[in-house]
Structure 1
Amino acid sequence: MKKIVIAFTMLFFLSANSIFSQNSDKKGFALLELYTSEGCSSCPPADELLGRIQNEYRDKNVYILAYHVDYWDKQGWKDIFSNADFTKRQYDYAQFMGKEPIYTPQVIINGKTDYIGSQETSLRNGIKSALSKPLSTGLNLEVNQNANSLSVNYNVEGTSKNSRLLIAVVQKEAKSNVKRGENAHRVLSHYQIVRNLQSVDLNKAKKGTASIHLPKNYNAQDFEIIGFVQDMNSGAILGVKKV
């Protein structure tokens, strides 16, 4: 009789564990996309705030991507992390949300709502709201490095039509000595810097392998890969995964 009780207890424990794991995967998430620039004097407080949030929510379903836009580059200082593709992405969001003109520092949460990146209370309320909504799309990623590229095996479940998988190569931290422009003579700290963003069309296949180009200074300790699924009709982020 004792053996039967022990066996039943172990079976219950394993079943409960499985249910808990499944429910954990369904929990809400918050993907914060910061649009920033070394040439913008209003941006350093936002960069610092996102750095604190990143550290605070490190083990939770909160993910941060910092895109350095290029439209400040003509104001006396060229941001070493700036990329015209990131400016285009911000303009795309302006169309999705019907909000123009674009600005820095702007934070967009889950592709739906924007915030001034330095306004901490509003941003934290936005994170809380996003985390309260259940996950609708499943995403699994496996990464293998091959010389100067990564092979990313992906599997997506529950996507809408016209969805895309975006894979970001993210540098966790960096400092920059700014010599000119609005932040002249300041050493700026940056966090979760997007160095490369690659898009994968999911209309043909929800499962496959993507080859991702890596920056020259890439290493597994100082970088991470964040993948997310986006509805290209509305801009909404449907699911996210970090590896």
Structure 2
Amino acid sequence: MKNTLLITTIIAFSVLFSLNCFIFPDSYEELTGKLTSQKNKIETTANNGFAVVELFTSEGCSSCPPADELMAKLQSENKDKNIYFMAYHVDYWDRLGWKDQFSSNEFTVRQQQYQNWLNLYVMYTPQFIINGTTEFAGYNETTLSKKIADALAMKETSSLELSARSDNDSLEISFKTNLSEKNQSLLIATVQKEAISKVARGENKGNTLHHVQIVRQLKGFTLNEKEGNIAIQKPANFNTKDYELIGFIQNTTSGKISATAKVILR
């Protein structure tokens, strides 16, 4: 009996660590109460700071829909603020019976990079990263709002200007920045503004999920000059109504994001 219990325990822990994921215990009903009852105004200052808020999520994780909803709520309530929301759907939950249609191993690799930059022991969903330097596990609105407000309060010294021109299947992007430091990359995220997905299997079986700010592709370019031109391929069904482009400059050694801007589409 003791041997059976020991084997069962070992298997349980093996499954947990093979997923590299934590599941947060708050019930959906409890969370819904948090989201609807709390009003956490995100304050801004005269510093004109910014917050790049990256969410690592998955349709196969039962703790992720509340985080998706929280991001959508904050986006809706803070349209006038310098906050850039992006959701990356990782693929390591796909093995549990439901393949997230928005998932990509590319985004799992990006989360692994953050694990290295931030010296974390494990990866998990849902995980928020703010400006590449601060991480937050879960979906507590008060805590996330405070971290975003802290980022907005930082004085912004770097600048980034972006514009784009459509050329058949590609987008020609012009950039200009005052940043001259080494080990910098310019990243361009192609973002689908919203989508609805009906989940047929897995932990969210039977649920209809509403997503916002879904990153469909992320392209990086080494930043050797203060201004120049780059090109990216358009994803399938790209249009200026349902998609937007967000660019940001990130240090390839520390992960710190020093400047960001939305691409002006011409």
Report the TM-score when normalising by structure 2.
Answer: 0.80
Residue 84 of structure 1, CA deviation: 0.6
Q: Which residue of 2 aligns with 1:40?
A: 61
Residues 1:138 and 2:159 are matched in the alignment: yes
The aligned counterpart of 1:107 is 128
Contact between 1:170 and 1:225, CA under 8 Å: does it hold in 2? Answer: yes
Which residue of 2 is the match for residue 78 of structure 1? 99
Whose strand fraction is larger, Structure 1's or Structure 2's?
1
Say which SS state the counterpart of residue 95 (structure 2) adopts: coil
Tell me if 1:230 matches 2:230.
no
Q: How many residues align?
A: 219
The alignment yields a C-alpha RMSD, in angstroms, of 1.3
* Structure 1 segment 25-36 matched on structure 2, within 5 A: 27-36=48-57
Alignment partner of 1:74: what SS?
A: helix
Indicate if the aligned counterparts of 2:160 and 2:260 stay in contact, CA closer than 8 A.
yes
Distance 1:159 1:186, change over 3 A: farther
Unaligned stretches of 5+ residues in structure 2 = 1-44
Displacement after TM superposition at 1:136 (Å): 2.2
Runs (4 or more) in structure 1 with deviation over 6 Å come to none
Per-residue deviation at 1:145?
A: 1.1
Q: Tell me the residue number matched to 1:240.
A: 260
Deviation at 1:59, TM superposition (A): 2.1
Query: 1:189 and 1:48 mapped to 2: Cα distance?
Result: 8
Q: Using a 3 Å threshold, how does the CA distance of structure 1 residues 191 and 125 change in structure 2: closer, same or farther?
A: same
SS at match of 2:247: strand
Q: Partner of 1:12 in structure 2?
A: none
Aligned to 1:208: 228
Q: Secondary structure at the match of 2:142?
A: helix
Following superposition, the deviation at residue 149 of structure 1 comes to: 1.4
Indicate the SS of the match to 1:173: strand
Q: Is 1:191 paired with 2:212?
A: yes
Distance 1:191 1:130 in 2: 21
Name the CA shift for 1:159/1:83 in 2 (closer, same or farther; >3 Å): farther
CA contact (8 A) 1:34 1:117 kept: no
Aligned to 1:67: 88
Identity %: 48
Shift of 1:54: 1.1
